[in-house]
Amino acid sequence: KVSWNSIRNEFMVVWQEKTTAGLLSKIGFKRIAANGSFPGSGYVRQVGFPGNPDITYNVATDQYLAVWSEVTPAHYINIYGARLNYLGDIQTQIFPISQQDDEQQFSSVTTNSQDLFMVTWQHNDIYSWGRDWDIYGKFLDVNGNQVGNQVWIAASFDDETHPDVAANGLSDQYLVVNQRNTSNGESIEARLYNGNGDQLNYVEISPGGFGDNHYPAVGTHLSGYFVTYQWQSWEPLSINDLYGRIWSPHGVFLPSVFR
Protein backbone atom coordinates (compact mmCIF):
# COMPACT_ATOMS: atom_id res chain seq x y z
CA LYS A 1 0.00 0.00 0.00
CA VAL A 2 1.13 3.57 -0.60
CA SER A 3 0.41 7.11 0.60
CA TRP A 4 1.46 10.52 -0.77
CA ASN A 5 3.21 13.12 1.43
CA SER A 6 2.19 16.45 -0.09
CA ILE A 7 4.53 18.50 2.14
CA ARG A 8 7.72 16.59 1.31
CA ASN A 9 6.77 15.59 -2.22
CA GLU A 10 7.32 11.86 -1.67
CA PHE A 11 5.53 8.55 -1.18
CA MET A 12 5.61 6.08 1.68
CA VAL A 13 5.09 2.43 0.69
CA VAL A 14 4.38 -0.36 3.21
CA TRP A 15 4.31 -4.12 2.66
CA GLN A 16 4.34 -7.44 4.48
CA GLU A 17 7.29 -9.83 4.46
CA LYS A 18 7.32 -13.61 4.90
CA THR A 19 9.98 -16.09 5.93
CA THR A 20 11.22 -18.78 3.57
CA ALA A 21 8.73 -21.07 5.32
CA GLY A 22 5.89 -18.75 4.30
CA LEU A 23 5.23 -17.26 7.74
CA LEU A 24 4.42 -13.58 8.17
CA SER A 25 7.39 -11.87 9.81
CA LYS A 26 7.68 -8.09 9.22
CA ILE A 27 6.01 -4.89 8.03
CA GLY A 28 8.46 -2.91 5.92
CA PHE A 29 8.39 0.64 4.55
CA LYS A 30 10.24 2.64 1.92
CA ARG A 31 10.21 6.35 1.11
CA ILE A 32 10.12 7.15 -2.60
CA ALA A 33 10.75 10.74 -3.71
CA ALA A 34 8.90 12.24 -6.65
CA ASN A 35 12.10 12.00 -8.72
CA GLY A 36 12.27 8.24 -8.13
CA SER A 37 15.05 8.25 -5.52
CA PHE A 38 14.82 6.34 -2.23
CA PRO A 39 15.51 8.61 0.79
CA GLY A 40 15.09 5.84 3.33
CA SER A 41 13.55 2.51 4.32
CA GLY A 42 13.07 0.34 7.38
CA TYR A 43 10.54 -1.66 9.37
CA VAL A 44 7.39 -0.71 11.22
CA ARG A 45 7.07 -4.11 12.89
CA GLN A 46 9.62 -6.95 13.15
CA VAL A 47 8.15 -9.32 15.76
CA GLY A 48 5.06 -11.52 15.89
CA PHE A 49 3.19 -12.38 12.72
CA PRO A 50 2.10 -9.02 11.22
CA GLY A 51 0.48 -8.73 7.79
CA ASN A 52 -1.88 -6.87 5.46
CA PRO A 53 -0.66 -3.31 6.19
CA ASP A 54 -2.22 -0.07 5.03
CA ILE A 55 -1.04 3.53 5.45
CA THR A 56 -2.34 7.09 5.14
CA TYR A 57 -0.77 10.54 5.49
CA ASN A 58 -2.20 13.41 7.55
CA VAL A 59 -0.99 16.77 6.25
CA ALA A 60 -2.06 18.66 9.41
CA THR A 61 0.40 16.68 11.56
CA ASP A 62 2.91 15.74 8.84
CA GLN A 63 2.61 12.15 10.07
CA TYR A 64 1.49 8.78 8.73
CA LEU A 65 -0.74 6.22 10.37
CA ALA A 66 0.09 2.62 9.51
CA VAL A 67 -2.31 -0.21 10.42
CA TRP A 68 -2.02 -3.98 10.12
CA SER A 69 -3.35 -7.29 11.44
CA GLU A 70 -1.24 -9.48 13.72
CA VAL A 71 -1.55 -12.96 15.21
CA THR A 72 -1.35 -12.73 19.01
CA PRO A 73 0.27 -15.28 21.37
CA ALA A 74 -3.27 -16.49 22.18
CA HIS A 75 -3.75 -17.14 18.44
CA TYR A 76 -6.31 -14.40 17.90
CA ILE A 77 -5.87 -11.97 15.00
CA ASN A 78 -6.04 -8.32 16.13
CA ILE A 79 -5.59 -4.90 14.50
CA TYR A 80 -2.71 -2.61 15.50
CA GLY A 81 -1.47 0.81 14.46
CA ALA A 82 1.53 3.12 14.69
CA ARG A 83 2.03 6.80 13.98
CA LEU A 84 5.13 7.46 11.89
CA ASN A 85 6.99 10.67 11.16
CA TYR A 86 8.14 11.37 7.62
CA LEU A 87 11.34 9.38 8.24
CA GLY A 88 9.34 6.30 9.22
CA ASP A 89 10.17 6.54 12.93
CA ILE A 90 7.41 5.33 15.25
CA GLN A 91 5.98 8.16 17.37
CA THR A 92 5.37 7.10 21.00
CA GLN A 93 4.54 3.39 20.53
CA ILE A 94 2.54 0.75 18.65
CA PHE A 95 -1.06 0.63 19.92
CA PRO A 96 -4.02 -1.76 19.59
CA ILE A 97 -6.98 -0.66 17.47
CA SER A 98 -9.14 -3.77 17.88
CA GLN A 99 -7.98 -6.27 20.47
CA GLN A 100 -11.05 -8.45 20.95
CA ASP A 101 -10.80 -12.22 21.40
CA ASP A 102 -11.93 -12.70 17.81
CA GLU A 103 -10.39 -12.61 14.36
CA GLN A 104 -9.86 -9.22 12.73
CA GLN A 105 -8.23 -8.96 9.31
CA PHE A 106 -7.66 -6.78 6.24
CA SER A 107 -7.56 -3.39 7.95
CA SER A 108 -7.80 -0.21 5.90
CA VAL A 109 -7.17 3.39 6.97
CA THR A 110 -7.87 6.90 5.72
CA THR A 111 -7.79 10.44 7.13
CA ASN A 112 -9.64 13.70 6.62
CA SER A 113 -6.16 15.32 6.69
CA GLN A 114 -7.24 17.32 9.73
CA ASP A 115 -8.18 15.73 13.04
CA LEU A 116 -9.53 12.23 12.32
CA PHE A 117 -8.53 8.84 10.99
CA MET A 118 -11.01 6.10 10.12
CA VAL A 119 -9.91 2.46 10.32
CA THR A 120 -12.01 -0.43 8.98
CA TRP A 121 -11.51 -4.20 9.07
CA GLN A 122 -13.34 -7.49 8.60
CA HIS A 123 -14.35 -9.13 11.88
CA ASN A 124 -15.30 -12.69 12.80
CA ASP A 125 -16.88 -13.21 16.22
CA ILE A 126 -15.57 -16.67 17.05
CA TYR A 127 -18.01 -17.05 19.94
CA SER A 128 -21.22 -16.26 18.03
CA TRP A 129 -23.51 -18.68 16.25
CA GLY A 130 -22.79 -18.83 12.54
CA ARG A 131 -19.38 -17.12 12.77
CA ASP A 132 -19.80 -15.02 9.65
CA TRP A 133 -17.53 -12.13 8.66
CA ASP A 134 -18.71 -8.55 9.30
CA ILE A 135 -17.19 -5.09 8.74
CA TYR A 136 -16.34 -2.89 11.73
CA GLY A 137 -14.70 0.51 12.00
CA LYS A 138 -13.31 3.06 14.44
CA PHE A 139 -12.43 6.75 14.36
CA LEU A 140 -9.12 7.81 15.90
CA ASP A 141 -7.75 11.25 16.70
CA VAL A 142 -4.30 12.34 15.51
CA ASN A 143 -2.73 10.77 18.61
CA GLY A 144 -4.29 7.37 17.94
CA ASN A 145 -7.00 7.63 20.61
CA GLN A 146 -10.45 6.25 19.83
CA VAL A 147 -13.13 8.86 19.13
CA GLY A 148 -16.74 7.83 19.77
CA ASN A 149 -18.00 4.27 19.64
CA GLN A 150 -16.95 1.43 17.40
CA VAL A 151 -18.91 1.59 14.13
CA TRP A 152 -20.86 -1.50 13.08
CA ILE A 153 -20.62 -1.05 9.31
CA ALA A 154 -21.93 -4.26 7.74
CA ALA A 155 -23.32 -7.12 9.82
CA SER A 156 -25.88 -9.19 7.92
CA PHE A 157 -26.09 -12.99 7.98
CA ASP A 158 -23.92 -12.96 4.84
CA ASP A 159 -20.13 -12.74 4.87
CA GLU A 160 -18.93 -9.15 4.39
CA THR A 161 -15.20 -9.00 3.65
CA HIS A 162 -12.32 -7.00 2.15
CA PRO A 163 -13.20 -3.46 3.27
CA ASP A 164 -11.55 -0.33 1.93
CA VAL A 165 -12.15 3.27 2.99
CA ALA A 166 -11.44 6.77 1.64
CA ALA A 167 -12.12 10.21 3.13
CA ASN A 168 -13.19 13.54 1.67
CA GLY A 169 -11.58 16.10 3.94
CA LEU A 170 -13.69 19.03 2.73
CA SER A 171 -16.97 17.37 3.64
CA ASP A 172 -15.51 15.24 6.47
CA GLN A 173 -17.20 12.20 4.95
CA TYR A 174 -15.92 8.64 4.57
CA LEU A 175 -16.88 6.03 1.98
CA VAL A 176 -16.50 2.38 3.04
CA VAL A 177 -16.71 -0.33 0.38
CA ASN A 178 -16.75 -4.09 0.88
CA GLN A 179 -17.46 -7.42 -0.75
CA ARG A 180 -20.60 -9.36 0.28
CA ASN A 181 -21.35 -13.05 -0.24
CA THR A 182 -25.06 -13.15 -1.15
CA SER A 183 -27.33 -15.93 -2.39
CA ASN A 184 -26.86 -14.43 -5.87
CA GLY A 185 -23.06 -14.42 -5.70
CA GLU A 186 -20.42 -11.94 -4.55
CA SER A 187 -21.58 -8.31 -4.65
CA ILE A 188 -19.91 -4.95 -3.91
CA GLU A 189 -21.57 -2.42 -1.61
CA ALA A 190 -20.74 1.04 -0.26
CA ARG A 191 -21.73 3.12 2.75
CA LEU A 192 -21.11 6.82 3.33
CA TYR A 193 -20.40 8.10 6.86
CA ASN A 194 -19.83 11.45 8.52
CA GLY A 195 -17.16 12.09 11.14
CA ASN A 196 -19.57 11.18 13.94
CA GLY A 197 -19.99 7.65 12.61
CA ASP A 198 -23.51 8.26 11.27
CA GLN A 199 -24.37 6.39 8.06
CA LEU A 200 -25.53 8.86 5.41
CA ASN A 201 -26.11 6.61 2.42
CA TYR A 202 -25.95 3.02 1.19
CA VAL A 203 -25.52 1.81 -2.40
CA GLU A 204 -25.10 -1.64 -3.90
CA ILE A 205 -22.41 -0.85 -6.45
CA SER A 206 -22.45 -4.14 -8.31
CA PRO A 207 -24.92 -6.92 -7.42
CA GLY A 208 -24.18 -10.60 -7.69
CA GLY A 209 -25.67 -12.59 -10.54
CA PHE A 210 -24.13 -13.85 -13.80
CA GLY A 211 -20.74 -13.50 -12.11
CA ASP A 212 -18.88 -12.62 -8.92
CA ASN A 213 -17.42 -9.28 -7.77
CA HIS A 214 -14.25 -9.22 -5.69
CA TYR A 215 -11.65 -7.00 -4.00
CA PRO A 216 -13.13 -3.48 -3.98
CA ALA A 217 -10.91 -0.42 -3.65
CA VAL A 218 -11.82 3.25 -3.28
CA GLY A 219 -10.03 6.57 -3.76
CA THR A 220 -11.19 10.16 -3.46
CA HIS A 221 -10.77 13.58 -5.03
CA LEU A 222 -12.66 16.87 -4.89
CA SER A 223 -14.89 15.53 -7.67
CA GLY A 224 -16.01 12.57 -5.56
CA TYR A 225 -15.04 8.94 -4.98
CA PHE A 226 -13.88 6.32 -7.48
CA VAL A 227 -14.59 2.66 -6.66
CA THR A 228 -12.95 -0.22 -8.53
CA TYR A 229 -13.57 -3.95 -8.29
CA GLN A 230 -12.83 -7.22 -10.03
CA TRP A 231 -15.62 -9.11 -11.84
CA GLN A 232 -15.61 -12.62 -13.27
CA SER A 233 -18.43 -14.19 -15.26
CA TRP A 234 -19.76 -17.59 -14.33
CA GLU A 235 -19.29 -18.66 -17.95
CA PRO A 236 -16.71 -21.46 -18.36
CA LEU A 237 -13.14 -20.29 -19.07
CA SER A 238 -14.05 -16.67 -18.32
CA ILE A 239 -11.36 -14.23 -17.21
CA ASN A 240 -11.32 -11.47 -14.60
CA ASP A 241 -12.20 -7.93 -15.66
CA LEU A 242 -11.83 -4.66 -13.74
CA TYR A 243 -14.73 -2.24 -13.39
CA GLY A 244 -15.22 1.12 -11.71
CA ARG A 245 -17.91 3.60 -10.71
CA ILE A 246 -17.79 7.25 -9.62
CA TRP A 247 -19.65 8.55 -6.58
CA SER A 248 -20.40 12.27 -6.95
CA PRO A 249 -19.68 14.76 -4.14
CA HIS A 250 -23.43 14.81 -3.43
CA GLY A 251 -23.51 11.12 -2.52
CA VAL A 252 -25.01 9.80 -5.76
CA PHE A 253 -23.39 7.19 -7.97
CA LEU A 254 -23.12 8.31 -11.55
CA PRO A 255 -24.75 5.87 -13.99
CA SER A 256 -21.65 5.02 -16.01
CA VAL A 257 -19.71 1.86 -15.23
CA PHE A 258 -16.09 1.88 -16.42
CA ARG A 259 -14.44 -1.27 -17.69
CATH number of the CATH domain containing 192: 2.120.10.10
Give the domain range for residue 198. Answer: 100-259
> Which residues have a Cβ under 8 Å from the Cβ of 169 and sit 6 or more positions away?
111, 112, 113, 114
249 and 138 within one domain: yes
The β-bridge relationship of strands 199-206 and 146-154 is unpaired
Produce one character per residue of 5-24: b if its CB has 16 or more CB atoms within 10 Å, e if not: beebebbbbbbbeeeeeeeb
> Which residues have a Cβ under 8 Å from the Cβ of 57 and sit 6 or more positions away?
3, 4, 5, 6, 12, 63, 64, 111, 113
141 and 240 within one domain: yes
> How many domains does the structure of the chain reveal?
2
217 and 146 within one domain: yes
pTM of the model: 0.93
The C-alpha atoms of residue 193 and residue 199 are separated, in whole angstroms, by 4
Q: What is the pLDDT of residue 252?
A: 62
131 pLDDT above the threshold of 80: no
Q: What is the pLDDT of residue 144?
A: 96
54 and 122 within one domain: no
Closest CA to 244 of 233, 235, 253, 234: 253
Closest CA to 188 of 161, 209, 163, 207: 207
Residue scoring higher pLDDT (103 or 10): 10
Return the sign of the alpha-carbon dihedral for residues 65, 20, 164, 11: positive
Asked if residue 216 lies in contact with residue 228, where contact means CB atoms within 8 angstroms, the answer is: yes
Pick from 72, 92, 112: which residue ends a domain? 92
113 and 71 within one domain: no
103 pLDDT above the threshold of 80: yes
Q: How confident is the model at residue 115 (pLDDT cuts 50, 70, 90)?
A: very high
133 and 65 within one domain: no
249 and 165 within one domain: yes
150 pLDDT above the threshold of 60: yes
Q: How confident is the model at residue 139 (pLDDT cuts 50, 70, 90)?
A: very high
247 and 203 within one domain: yes
Q: What is the pLDDT of residues 191-201, one digit of tens each?
A: 999 999 999 99
Pick from 92, 124, 150: which residue ends a domain? 92
Please give the average per-residue pLDDT across 9-27, as a whole number: 96
Mean pLDDT of the chain: 92
110 and 85 within one domain: no
- Residue type (1 letter), 234: W
219 and 140 within one domain: yes
Pick from 23, 58, 92: which residue ends a domain? 92
Closest CA to 110 of 56, 29, 53: 56
111 and 88 within one domain: no
183 and 230 within one domain: yes
CA-to-CA separations, 241 to 89, 173, 179, 211, 247, in angstroms, rounded: 39, 29, 16, 11, 20
Asked if residue 149 lies in contact with residue 141, where contact means CB atoms within 8 angstroms, the answer is: no
